[in-house]
Structure 1
C-alpha cells in the first residue's frame, strides 16, 4: 500500500457527522484515533492482517469507537481494497453506527446489500480491477464503482 500507516485521505460528510470531527482534524491520521484508550481488542489485529495481506479484497469489522465528544459507539466498518495491476492503491472504507441496530435489521441490510453487490458485479465485470462478489464482501457499492472508474 502506498502510504505508511494507512492515513485518511478523504472523508465524507456522514463520517464527520458520525464521529463529530471536522475534516481538517482527521485527514492524514489513521482511524485508530477513534478507538477507546484501552484499544479495540482483537479486531485491531484482524484489520491489520486484512490491510497488509494478499488475502481477501473485502472485509467487515465491528469496532468499538469513541466520538470527539467522548460518547462511545459500535462501528460496523466495511473495507474494500482498490487493486490495480495487482497492487492495493487505496482502501475504501464505509462505516455504520450500529449501536442501536437489531439483529433483524442487520440481517435484512446484509441481504439487500449482498443482492446489490451481486447485481453491480454483473453489470461492471469485466474490468481491469479485481472485483469479487460474494456474501462475505458486504462492501458498499461505491467500492465496486471505484474499482472500475478509478483513473490515476
Structure 2
C-alpha cells in the first residue's frame, strides 16, 4: 500500500473487526485502503475498490437524502463527522442498508488529511448487534486517536450514539423494501 500513513495506523485499521475504509481528500475522494472486515461485508476485494469512490457501492439506489448528507459533510470542512443509513450493494448485487459513519483525520495544522469511514449492515441485524457495533466503533475510535496522534494526525469528531437501535433497524428494513425494482445491476 502506497499510503502516507504510519505503519502502526495501517496495521491497526487492517486488524479491526469493524469494517473500515480510508479515503483521500483529493478530488472524488478515492478509497486508499479498506480492511478485511470491509471486504467481508461488501464482497469486494481491496483491488476492486481502492482508487475508486465508495459510491460504487450505491449503484442505482434511491439515496437522495443520504447523498445530500454525505456531500454536505465532504464540502463543509468544519463538520467533524456524519452518520447515515444508506442503501449499498454487495459485489454479488445483494442490497443491504449500511450504517455509514465518516469522520476526518486531520494533520496538526488543521488540514484534512484523510476521510475515515466505518460500515455496518443494519438491514439484517438484531438491535443487540447494532449496540455491539456502536460499542466496537467507539473502541476503534478511542484506540485510533492515540495511534494517529503519534503520527501527527488528529481523529476529528466523536461517535454519535444511536438513541433507538430498534428504530434504526426498522428504518433500514423500510429502505430495503423501498428499493422495489432496483436490482443493483
Give the TM-score normalised by structure 1: 0.71
Q: Which structure 1 residue ranges, 5 or more long, are not aligned?
A: 139-152
Q: How many residues align?
A: 138
Name 2:92's counterpart in structure 1. 69
Q: Any conservation in 2 of the 1:77–1:93 contact (CA below 8 Å)?
A: yes
Cα 1:120–1:137, aligned 2, differ >3 Å: closer, same or farther? farther
**Shift, 1:104, TM fit:** 4.7
The answer to whether 1:55 aligns with 2:78 is yes
Indicate the larger mover: 32-41 or 91-100: 32-41
Q: Which structure 2 residue ranges, 5 or more long, are not aligned?
A: 1-23, 163-185
Cα 1:16–1:111, aligned 2, differ >3 Å: closer, same or farther? closer
After superposition, the CA RMSD in angstroms is 3.2
1:93 to 94, 100, 117: 117
Indicate the larger mover: 112-121 or 27-36: 112-121
Describe the superposition over 1:68-122 as per-residue Cα deviations: whole angstroms up to 9, x where unpaired.
Answer: 1111011111112001111111011111112222345434643675588579879
CA–CA distance in structure 1, aligned partners of residues 134 and 116 of structure 2: 18
After TM superposition, the runs of 4+ consecutive aligned structure 1 residues lying more than 6 A away are: 118-122
Name 1:9's counterpart in structure 2. 32
Name 1:30's counterpart in structure 2. 53
The answer to whether 1:102 aligns with 2:126 is yes
CA–CA distance in structure 1, aligned partners of residues 111 and 141 of structure 2: 22
CA–CA distance in structure 1, aligned partners of residues 133 and 37 of structure 2: 18
Higher RCO (CA 8 Å, separation ≥ 6 residues): 2
Describe the superposition over 1:4-33 as per-residue Cα deviations: whole angstroms up to 9, x where unpaired.
Answer: 100001111111111111222111110111
Indicate the larger mover: 35-44 or 85-94: 35-44
**Shift, 1:65, TM fit:** 0.4
Indicate the SS of the match to 1:42.
helix
Describe the superposition over 1:17-73 as per-residue Cα deviations: whole angstroms up to 9, x where unpaired.
Answer: 111112221111101111031442210110111112123322212110011111101
